[in-house]
Structure 1
Amino acid sequence: MSENIITRHAAPAVERAAKPEVRPPRPGLALALILACQLMVVLDATVVSIALPGIQRTLHFSAAGLSWVQNIYLLVFGGLLLLGGRAGDILGRRRLLTFGVALFTLASLLGGLATNPGLLIAARAAQGVGAAIAAPNTLALIVSTYQEPARRARAIGLFSSMSAGGAAVGMILGGLLTSYFSWRSVMFINVPFGLAIVLLAPRLIREPERHPSRLDLGGAITATLGTSGLVYAFIRAATAGWSAPSTLGCFAAAVLLLAGFVLWEARAAKPLLPLHLLTDRVRAGGYLTMLLLPASMFGMFFFVTQYLQNVLGYSPLRTGFAFLPLALLIFVGARLAPRLVPRYGTRPFLYGGPVLLLTGLLLLTRISAHTGYAGGILPSMVLFGTGAGFTMVPLSITILSGVRPEESGAASGTLQTMQQAGGALGTAVLLTVFSAATRHPAGRTPHALFAHGVSTAMGAAALVIAVALLTIVAVVRPQGRPR
């Protein structure tokens, strides 16, 4: 009798102990750590850009060498994201996030202490490795932690606001740090936040169930080299030209490697990227759109920054604050979208957001050497910030819906690969358009020539957004009002 009573009372406790935790003990603090990690790795892609003149003066970089301070981070980050996402599925997402942030933090410290160009570029490459290990596991932790659709949508909304707004925040922070301190501060600022994440993550973030498997090394090598080769080919095209043998060779190598990756994954027992994630029409269209949107967004950030400083004569600090309306609107839109999507569906946002982005870019095609900030740049930033804030969250939700928990790392790693590769590719392609437009002065003043190049590049960016919108309409076909 007593044994039955004990067994009856003990069974629920045993079931509760055996049942995996759905949410961490303090989900708010866990989410704050995950978002801080994402902001660090995204912000670092642009925070250095405003510090580049100071870096060149201090470390005596050549003009060509200076571009690698920015490009090496994007190259390594984009090339290793797929591997980082799949490794998290197998080895543990919290463990990989903590290790990636630790490496990123150490590399930031060494970069701030660099005394020559080689050391700084090596530190930036190491930052890219750490970011590629940590970043795909941030989104995967959100997907596996928040099972309830409404909570997950809100968490993805915050994550997307960090991803979309981080680039603009990086410019603001870069302007502040370089104006009041030095370029080294943009590297040192990562250290205290990185240490806090490393110390607190094991206590606040629940480690999801791991899925032991063999890491697909063949897929990892071909994906990393192929993605890196493609990004480098576009970077090379912007500097050496599209017809240069080195550019054509990089493109050929990248195509062969990526084709080899697809063939390898089709036969692999435990693929790095399960190809059925791409056979779904909606998800495949979403990934393509996620490649195209950052391509125009990062290009817009890059060229408007140059226009404000080179044509309007803004200081780095003033340039950073000029992006404040854009950053605020991205955060507001990303906060509101998760609350509105359950009511209205994703269709109005995935149609309306890109239209706002397209309109903002078309306005920028009209700028000249005499265009002011309030009348010419600010309206575009308002449209662009609103469009980006209301587009990225519904698109992320569309891509990740229906993904099995054991594949959330691969799915989120692919999503972030599209974002980072799109940003790098878009900037490189638009640089090529800008170079072609400014090759023949035709009697223009330097400011007028520069403005003409920016206007032409923004026209190309508008074309990219138009292709993204067409993909959404024809392939993704987002849902209207949910049942």
Structure 2
Amino acid sequence: MHVHVTSSAVTITDTSPASAVRSPTPPPAADEQKWTPRLWGVLAVLCAVLFLDGLDVSMVGVALPSIGTELGLSTTSLQWIVNGYVLGYGGLLLLGGRTADLLGRRRVFLIALAVFAVASLIGGLVDNGPLLIATRFVKGLAAAFTAPTALSILTTTFREGPARNRALSVFSVFGASGYSSGLILGGLLTSFGWRWTFLTPVPLAILALIAGIALIPKDRPAAGGGHDLLGAATLTSGMLLAVYTVVSAPARGWLDPVTLGSVALAVALLAAFVITENRVKHPLIRLGILRIGTIVRANLSIVALFGSYLSFQFMMTLYLQDVLGWSPLKMALGLLPAGLLVAFGSPFVGRLIDRYGTPRLILASMLSLSLGYVWFLATAGNTPNYAFTILPTMLLLGGGFAFGFSSIMGQATEGIHDDEQGLASGLVNTSGQVGAALVLAGVTALVAGGSHTGTGGTDFGQFFPGVNLVTGVAVVGLALNIIPLLTRYRAKHALASDA
């Protein structure tokens, strides 16, 4: 979402107000920004919302078996408690980010947070499966507005450079802590009743809402001009249909006529959106932002990070609980080291970004992820040993996530003009969510196929096709980030030789 400049390469775009050019070094004022108590308070509110998002997703995932037993839901219905959230979240992220630019970040953030709290309350009280799924969809819609808006408030509040890198590091800590805490709390709360996993976020969301009203400064819409209603309609419907197709295809079949028809219609709607954006006077999304190499790499990197990490954790959850018979709490504790590494390692990433830049940190992230999966494949066998195989893998994945999350978010929003911060934030969040859904759908299909290959579901054999896929995704992410750095190094070496 910006023009990125490193010590070895400078990319320059046009100088119109809608575009952004990053200077070779952060502006001097970036070092001078004073962290006042109110500034810390704003960051705390934003972090609390990200914490709630991670907390909610992981707690509900642990509680699914209990929900199915009490409400009499089939496995297919249970998956929609997760996928309903993904559908709303992934389908409206781009619109959510741009809406914040058009209507004001504070207003959109607070309204969406209030909707999140109400949907959480209703979800904890219902006794009907379809209504529970509907509340999850509404929560996903709310998160589609809070997530990119929170990131855009952060990137416009903290100046580009050390201050923003530090804030992003703290921000990522709370995301990881929310997910890690949700695993543990989900196991504990489910023992008292699955409804507590839905009700617990309610008071936290209300407190964040009150603090947000008091601390987040009022702002005016950052983007002016008219409203692109046709673009909004085609983008929203196209994204919703695309995400629906991704999450429903494993159960229905990728070659099913309904799946193929949904794919064709989603492509047509998104194509209509692109045509619209190239013709209207005030487009919802300036497509020129996608011509910036660092923006594209950041968005593809988040696909590799989220897609591989979440899919591998999904497989380990199934293996540890369904195959080995671990309790939800024991399983959560087994996977916790990765989250702890992210929580304790992320505060230092901001300093590393200041020193080495986002491209090198993203490369380190992709390398750590790839090594983790390769180690697992090399040592697992049919019965992976926790201490020798699973624990080292989770630590490598945690390190990869710690290096990658803040760095990718920083590169995806760095240098972008204020009137496109919501767009940039929505774009990278959309890439992460939709990418994770795509990879998880592929993994689910492969694991389902592997369960009929003769292993009988008694060992890890059925999961290996899925691990092969996530390894490939991580390696592709590694290649995407190492090739530009190698190219720049060779060009720099060639210039030095000529001199």
So what's the TM-score if we normalise by structure 1?
Answer: 0.89
Q: Does 1:435 align with 2:448?
A: yes
Match of 1:206 in 2: 217
Q: Say which SS state the counterpart of residue 461 (structure 2) adopts.
A: helix
CA shift for structure 1 position 22 = 9.5
* Letter of the structure 2 residue corresponding to residue 464 of structure 1: V
Residue equivalent to 1:287: 299
Secondary structure class of the residue paired with 1:267? coil
Q: Is residue 203 of structure 2 the alignment partner of residue 188 of structure 1?
A: no
What is the match of residue 399 of structure 2? 386
Question: Which segments of 5 or more consecutive residues in structure 1 lack a partner in the other structure?
Answer: 1-20
Task: Indicate conservation of the 8 Å contact 2:160/2:415, yes or no.
Answer: no
Whole-angstrom distance in 2 between the partners of 1:264 and 1:24: 44
**1:229 and 1:254 in contact (8 A); partners too:** yes
Instruction: Indicate if the aligned counterparts of 1:98 and 1:197 stay in contact, CA closer than 8 A.
Output: no
Q: Structure 1 pair 477/421, CA: closer, same or farther in 2 (3 Å)? A: farther
**Secondary structure of 1:402's match?**
coil
Cα pair distance change 1:53/1:130, threshold 3 Å: same
Question: What is the match of residue 370 of structure 1?
Answer: 383
Aligned residues: 455
- 1:35 alignment counterpart: 47
Instruction: Please list, as runs of the form range in 1=range in 2, the aligned pairs for 1:75-474 lying within 5 A after superposition.
Output: 75-164=87-176, 166-179=178-191, 181-211=192-222, 212-365=224-377, 366-441=379-454, 444-448=455-459, 451-474=460-483
Deviation at 1:79, TM superposition (A): 0.4
Query: RMSD over aligned Cα, in angstroms?
Result: 2.1
Change (3 A) 1:112 1:362: same
- Could you tell me how far 1:23 is from its partner in structure 2? 7.8
- Which shows bigger deviation, 418-427 or 100-109? 418-427
Q: Which amino acid aligns with 2:203?
A: P
After superposition, what is the alpha-carbon deviation per residue over 1:290-340, rounded to whole angstroms, capped at 9, x for unaligned?
Answer: 222211111011111111112222101111111221001112332111011
Give per-residue Cα distances to partners, 1:441-479, cap 9 Å, x unaligned.
Answer: 2xx34312xx11222211110100111111112358799
CA contact (8 A) 1:153 1:338 kept: yes
For 2:36 and 2:86, the matched residues in 1 are separated by: 32
Aligned to 1:147, what secondary structure does the other structure show? coil
CA contact 1:333–1:389 (8 Å) conserved in 2: yes
Which amino acid is 1:210 matched to? P
Q: Report the secondary structure of 2:458's partner residue.
A: helix
Query: Does structure 1 conserve the Cα–Cα contact (< 8 Å) formed by 2:380 and 2:389?
Result: yes
SS at match of 1:35: helix
The share of aligned pairs that are identical, in percent, is: 35
TM-score norm. by structure 2 comes to 0.87
CA contact (8 A) 1:323 1:381 kept: yes
Q: C-alpha separation between the residues in 1 aligned to 2:277 and 2:440?
A: 29
Deviates more, 1:204-213 or 1:274-283: 204-213
Q: How many angstroms apart in 1 are the aligned matches of 2:439 and 2:175?
A: 16
2-structure distance, mates of 1:477, 1:265: 35
> Residue 48 of structure 1 aligns to a residue in which SS?
helix
SS state at 2:311 partner: helix
| Alignment check: 8 A CA contact 2:115 2:139 kept | yes
Q: For the residues of structure 2 that align with 1:476 and 1:419, how far apart are their CA atoms?
A: 23
Moved more, 206-215 or 259-268: 206-215
Q: Is the 8 A contact 2:63 2:194 kept in 1?
A: yes
| 3-state SS in 2 of match to 1:246 | helix
Deviates more, 1:457-466 or 1:34-43: 34-43
Change (3 A) 1:478 1:354: farther
